Amino acid sequence: MDTPEREDRLLIADEFFLIAHNDTRGKAKLHPAATGLGLAAGLLGELTLYGHITVSGGQVSVIDRRPPADALAHTVLDQLIGESQHRAVNVWLSFLAQSATTSVGERLARAGVLRRQESRRLLRTSVSYLPIDLNAVAWPATRLRALLDRPDPPSVPDALLLGLVVAAGLTREVLWSAGPRAHHRLNVLIPALPAPLKELVGHTEAAVGAAVLRGIP
């Protein structure tokens, strides 16, 4: 899989985070489990796109141990290498989902896209990530909607992001004002993803469905 050129844009998990939290208060649009699993898949997707891991037969395999430039991607890759006895995609989605909202939120805060805010209630402290520029937060969903209306196919990273949007249940956030053509193209794009990414999307959709059904917070 060729390394995609995305230096001018946010990473997959970052854009997923903004689509899932497109709100002035930084509140998630999804069930917390769906948000975490979508972000976890985004982090695995980033490593897959850049050739560090692959997904096949329900398992994650590290194929390039060289550290990625991004600090969070580096951390995730180190975890995969350090726990190499665990290879099941579902295991890694569940594990990464536990901290993905915080880790991706912090990455966006470091990038100056979001502002970290702590709120204390009784003995509990909660953290939220508030938009600094509402237009910047709304841009990923707007950009994807525009891509689906164009005649030329989107890049593989964008097709993956769209796949994760569908898998997590965020389709309405992207397609709320789109026409029939956009809906049709979305249905065609996901099956055409490269095999490792298509499998990752499928496992994500299954994990989200199972978690929401069980009522996992």
Token pair 């844009």 is found at 9
- If one compares 140 and 22, the residue with the highest pLDDT of the two is 140
- Tens of pLDDT, residue by residue over 159-187, are 999 999 999 999 988 888 777 778 888 88
**Alpha helices of the chain — where are they, by DSSP H?**
12-20, 32-49, 71-82, 89-110, 134-148, 156-168, 171-175, 180-189, 195-214
Is position 128 within any domain?
A: yes
Instruction: State the total domains in the chain.
Output: 1
Predicted pLDDT at 216 = 59
Is the per-residue pLDDT at 4 higher than 50? Answer: no
Average pLDDT over the chain, rounded to whole?
A: 90
Token pair 């909660």 is found at 126
Among 149, 154, 155, smallest CA distance to 181 is for 149
Is the per-residue pLDDT at 1 higher than 70? Answer: no
3-class DSSP state of 4: coil
75 burial via Cβ count (<10 Å: 0-12, 13-18, 19+): middle
Q: What is the CATH number of the domain that holds 89?
A: 1.10.3630.10
Measure the CA–CA gap between 36 and 53, rounded to whole angstroms. Answer: 20
Amino acid, single-letter form, for residue 187: N
Beta bridge partners of 67: none
Which residues, including other chains, have CB under 8 Å from residue 145's CB and lie 6 or more apart?
174, 175, 177, 178, 182
Average pLDDT (71-96) is 96
Is position 6 within any domain?
A: no
Range of the domain at 20: 12-214
Average pLDDT (88-93) is 98
Is the per-residue pLDDT at 153 higher than 90? Answer: no
Is position 164 within any domain?
A: yes
Average pLDDT (137-144) is 93
- Tens of pLDDT, residue by residue over 22-65, are 878 888 888 899 999 999 999 999 999 999 999 999 999 999 99
pLDDT band per the 50, 70, 90 thresholds, residue 80: very high
Which residues, including other chains, have CB under 8 Å from residue 198's CB and lie 6 or more apart?
163, 190, 191
Structure tokens at 151: 């005649």
Amino acid, single-letter form, for residue 50: Y
Is position 1 within any domain?
A: no
On whether the CB atoms of residues 100 and 39 are closer than 8 A, the answer is yes
Average pLDDT (205-216) is 85
Predicted pLDDT at 5 = 43
Pick from 55-59, 104-108, 134-138: least confident: 134-138
On whether the CB atoms of residues 62 and 80 are closer than 8 A, the answer is yes
pTM of the predicted protein model: 0.91
E strand or H helix at 120, and its extent? strand 114-121
To the nearest whole percent, how much of the chain has pLDDT over 90? 69
pLDDT band per the 50, 70, 90 thresholds, residue 2: very low
pLDDT band per the 50, 70, 90 thresholds, residue 9: low
Predicted pLDDT at 217 = 55
